[in-house]
Amino acid sequence: MAMPASFQPLVCVVDFHHARGPEIEHWIGAEGSDPTAENDWHLIPYMALPDGAHQSEEEFSYFSLVHKAHAGEDVEPTTVFGISCCHQLDASQLLWKSEDVTRSAVQKAVVAITDRPQSFSALREKLSVVTRAWFAQKDFRDLEVLQAFQTNLAKGRTEQEDERDQYFGLSLRELVHQFKWQMLVLFKCLLLQPKVQFTLISLIPGLVRSLRDCADPQMNRYAETSQKPDSVRTSDRTSLLAYLGVPLQLFGKGSVFGPYTPLQSLDILTDLDTKSYLVGSTNSLLIQQKDRYCDILIDLDENSINVSSPSLRSALALSSADRRWIDFLTQAVNDTWDDSDPSRPATHGYAGSEEFIRLQFEEYLLALLSSEKYHQYLGAHKDGDPKALLADVEGDPSAEYAPAFLEAWRKTENYKLWNRTTDSHLFDIIEPRHPNAGGLTIEDVQRRLAAQVAELHLDERFSQTREVVNKRLVDGRSHVTSAFNRVWADIELMREAQRKRAEEAREAAPPPGSEKPASPTTASPHGRLQKPDLQQAQASVAAASQRAGAYLSSWGAWAAEKRKGGWSAGRAGAGSTAGEAASDERPRVTTVSELGREDVHNVTTQLDLHALARRENMKIDGKDPKEAG
């Protein structure tokens, strides 16, 4: 349904005052009236200057407003949309300063308000150029550039907008590349009308052009005036979509759509009349209280999707056909991905482009609507003639879309409105079949495994692991080298200390010959043998010589007697008696075997000491001991 043609585009300037906060400074195109008071637009300053806008050089914000009827006009309240472009400039560069400029920087936003959100893509580029040109003047009193911009917006309303402009500056390629199969989850979530903090409405064909009731939960003009079409021109895409009930009216009574919603609008979200909403925010408070304010949260900073409602989570579970379909779409985007320009395919072709993605979702949605109508037809003819059923369709094709999701969708307001205003035989125009119908195949498993492996980013993780391991090896090598160096230094210190102690001991020792000889078995206090006593050694040697001489003499006498008496007589004698008598006649001498062990040791020691003393005396006399020997 077309928007009312009575609304004229407006332009305003929002300034950030250091004491009063954001406020509207100028209205352009209002012709002496005050749109703020007439339409209760007191939240425009907070919508136009979002939280954190000062952290970037240029920031855009989108928001929805309720445009009320003027006094005496028979016009229904409708929704209009605003887009703001925020900039800031150093106060020192201004050619003229007002008394309110007390800070180092001036922050302002130029806002364009229109009832045609489908033109936001082109309007955003124009607004950016105009805002830069106005700031380049460095004199904010000159509004000529903004006035020309508002005049151009009013004149351009007769131009025919193109379908390709039906998105709010979002890149569907980037969303599919980032969220993959979860993109289909988000799409099906839109149909269930939960409380969502994000916007994907451009995936619903024609929905951007049918948002007249989205700014307030009390507005329901679209549903009240919608009627079932009685004809269709299949060659006309607009006529065909209208006959199929597209766009689905996701934002009617009890629903709110706010591309950017400040904290000052939370009272609308928590109102009892608000059953569902689709909003965007930059304030962390909504993230901290996500369980209170939303059923599903899409965090673009963390690239995460959090479904907090258990019932919604089970309803959004994808079927095998759904996974096969979204895997195909994701692969088409990834195969044409270009990091330098994510918004368009690397091949510059149709496959994987923004328009390709939109048409794929459109085909999915139309097949879903047709399958649902055929499901109703099967229920009405389950006991009738089988020939009344479609011959080339087996069973219930709606089962391919997950029964839990269909059961939840049938309870929504948009389903009730669609079912009431559409023909029961839509499946005669659109085939009631899932785009990727069929059971799970080996190709599906291989594709899903390949996608899951790609999601692991093994190359990136291994490269990081290699860097960490190399760093640890270098650190470990340095630690080991330092440890060995410390140990070697300690060893050198110990060796040096031992060397010094040995030198001190040599210096403290008395010179040779300054001490008297000590006993050969007694060591000196410094560990050296004392010089032997020569007189004692000579006496001991003489005594041992006498004993040895006596021993030899006794044996010599005994041998002489045996020669005289004859050796044979001695053998043939009476034996032991004669032997004992003869042995008694031998002189008694001490033999070596009869000496005690101590005597033998003393004699040997005395002989060694005597030889040692003899060599020492020869050294003292200057003789060579070897020659003397």
pLDDT in tens, 138-174: 988 899 999 999 999 888 665 455 444 455 556 788 8
State yes or no: pLDDT of 582 exceeds 60: no
- As a dihedral over the C-alpha atoms of residue 585, residue 587, residue 589, residue 593, rounded to 10 degrees, the angle is -30
State yes or no: pLDDT of 617 exceeds 80: no
Measured between alpha carbons, how far is 321 from 444 in angstroms, rounded to an integer?
A: 10
Place 199 in a pLDDT band, splitting at 50, 70 and 90.
low
Higher pLDDT, 388 or 65: 65
Average the pLDDT over each of 221-235, 288-302, 324-338, 349-363 and give the range with the smallest value: 288-302
Measured between alpha carbons, how far is 610 from 556 in angstroms, rounded to an integer?
A: 29
What's the order of all strands across the beta sheet hosting 21-28?
A: 21-28, 10-17, 105-114, 78-90, 59-67
Average the pLDDT over each of 13-17, 181-185, 417-421, 530-534 and give the range with the smallest value: 530-534
Q: What b/e sequence results for 435-464 when a residue is b if at least 16 CB atoms lie within 10 Å of its CB, and e otherwise?
A: bbbeeeeeebeebeeebeeeeeeeeeeeee
For residues 178-207, give the mean pLDDT: 80
The pLDDT mean for the chain works out to: 78
Measured between alpha carbons, how far is 10 from 26 in angstroms, rounded to an integer?
A: 11
Q: What is the pLDDT of residue 629?
A: 45
Average the pLDDT over each of 27-31, 457-461, 522-526 and give the range with the smallest value: 522-526
Average the pLDDT over each of 287-296, 490-499, 558-567 and give the range with the smallest value: 558-567
Higher pLDDT, 174 or 447: 174
Q: Are the C-beta atoms of residues 443 and 436 closer than 8 Å to each other?
A: no
Higher pLDDT, 383 or 216: 216
Q: Are the C-beta atoms of residues 117 and 81 closer than 8 Å to each other?
A: yes
- 10 Å Cβ neighbour count for 304? 11
Place 439 in a pLDDT band, splitting at 50, 70 and 90.
low
Radius of gyration of the chain (CA): 56
**For residue 233, what is the DSSP state?**
-
Higher pLDDT, 325 or 519: 325
Residue 523, sorted as left (phi over 0), alpha (psi -120 to 50) or beta, turns out to be beta
* The residue to which tokens 């060599």 are assigned: 615
User: Can you point out the beta strands (E) in 41-133?
Assistant: 59-67, 78-90, 105-114
Phi then psi dihedrals of residue 624, to 5 deg: -85, 125
Place 525 in a pLDDT band, splitting at 50, 70 and 90.
very low
For residues 502-531, give the mean pLDDT: 57
State yes or no: pLDDT of 575 exceeds 70: no
Question: What pairing do the DSSP bridges indicate for beta strands 105-114 and 78-90?
Answer: antiparallel
Which range of 99-113, 276-290, 423-437 scores highest in mean pLDDT? It is 423-437
Q: Which of helix, strand or coil describes residue 14? A: strand
Element housing 313 (H / E): helix 310-315
For residues 564-587, give the mean pLDDT: 48
Place 4 in a pLDDT band, splitting at 50, 70 and 90.
very low
- 10 Å Cβ neighbour count for 160? 4
State yes or no: pLDDT of 389 exceeds 70: yes
Q: What percent of the chain has pLDDT over 90?
A: 24
For residues 557-562, give the mean pLDDT: 73
**Predicted TM-score of the model (pTM):** 0.67
Measured between alpha carbons, how far is 268 from 274 in angstroms, rounded to an integer?
A: 7
For residues 481-504, give the mean pLDDT: 79
Alpha-helix runs per DSSP H in 509-575: 534-565, 567-572
For residues 482-506, give the mean pLDDT: 79
Place 520 in a pLDDT band, splitting at 50, 70 and 90.
very low
Higher pLDDT, 622 or 262: 262
Average the pLDDT over each of 127-136, 254-263, 283-292, 295-304 and give the range with the smallest value: 283-292
Q: Give the orientation angle of helix 320-335 with respect to helix 442-456, to 10 degrees.
A: 50
State yes or no: pLDDT of 121 exceeds 70: yes
Q: What is the pLDDT of residue 112?
A: 94
Average the pLDDT over each of 95-104, 409-418, 452-461 and give the range with the smallest value: 452-461
Q: What is the pLDDT of residue 297?
A: 85
Q: What is the pLDDT of residue 572?
A: 45
Measured between alpha carbons, how far is 621 from 629 in angstroms, rounded to an integer?
A: 15
Measured between alpha carbons, how far is 366 from 434 in angstroms, rounded to an integer?
A: 10
Q: Which two tokens stand for residue 488?
A: 């070697």
State yes or no: pLDDT of 625 exceeds 70: no
- 10 Å Cβ neighbour count for 313? 13
For residues 602-608, give the mean pLDDT: 55
Measured between alpha carbons, how far is 514 from 520 in angstroms, rounded to an integer?
A: 17
Question: What pairing do the DSSP bridges indicate for beta strands 105-114 and 10-17?
Answer: antiparallel
Q: What percent of the chain has pLDDT over 70?
A: 72
Nearest to 603, CA basis, from 556, 549, 544: 544
Q: Which two tokens stand for residue 90?
A: 């150093």
Q: Are the C-beta atoms of residues 70 and 264 closer than 8 Å to each other?
A: no
Residue 446, sorted as left (phi over 0), alpha (psi -120 to 50) or beta, turns out to be alpha
Tens digit of pLDDT for each residue in 343-381? 889 988 999 898 899 899 999 999 999 999 999 999 888
Which range of 232-246, 257-271, 375-389, 578-592 scores highest in mean pLDDT? It is 232-246
Residues in CB range of 111: below 8 A, 6 or more apart: 11, 12, 13, 14, 44, 48, 82, 83, 84
Measured between alpha carbons, how far is 152 from 134 in angstroms, rounded to an integer?
A: 16
Degrees to nearest 5, angle at CA 286 with 204 and 48: 70
Place 479 in a pLDDT band, splitting at 50, 70 and 90.
confident
